[in-house]
Structure 1
Amino acid sequence: MDISSRLEATKQFGLVEDYRIDWQPGSPLRAPRVTVLSRSAYPVQMTRNYVTTLLEPLVPSRHIVVN
C-alpha cells in the first residue's frame, strides 16, 4: 500500500480533513514531504501520532507536518 492510499483511507475514516504529498524534485528515491490537515474534532498531536505511525515505513517523521 502506498502513501496516498494510506492517507486516502485515513481521510475516508474521518481522521484527516485533507493532505498533500510534495515529492522532492530531482530525486525519486528521496522521501516526500507530507502535509496533513487534522480535523478540528481531534487533537493535532493525536493525528500526528497516527499519521507518523501509518507512514513510518515510507516517510520519516521529520517529513510529516500536521496542522
Structure 2
Amino acid sequence: MNFEELKQAIKDTKFQINVLKAEVEGVSAPRNKKKLEHRLLNLRVLQLWQMEQYENLGGNLIDLND
C-alpha cells in the first residue's frame, strides 16, 4: 500500500468506526450490541495498524486531520 492509499484507508476506517458507534448506541438487544462492539474493536485495531504503517512510511498523524 502506498502513502496516499494508506492515508485514504485510515480516513475510511475512521468513517466506518463513527458509523458503527452510532449503530451500537441505537441497539438495545445485548447479543446484537456485543456483536457490533466486537466489530468496532476490530476496526480500532485495524486503524492502529494503519496508523503505525503510515508513520513508518514517514507520515505525520497530524496531517490526517485534513
Provide TM-score, normalisation by structure 2.
0.33
Comparing both structures, which one devotes a greater share of its residues to strand?
Answer: 1
Structure with more relative contact order (C-alpha pairs < 8 Å, separation 6 or more): 2
Comparing both structures, which one devotes a greater share of its residues to helix?
Answer: 2
Structure whose alpha-carbon radius of gyration is higher: 2
Provide TM-score, normalisation by structure 1.
0.33
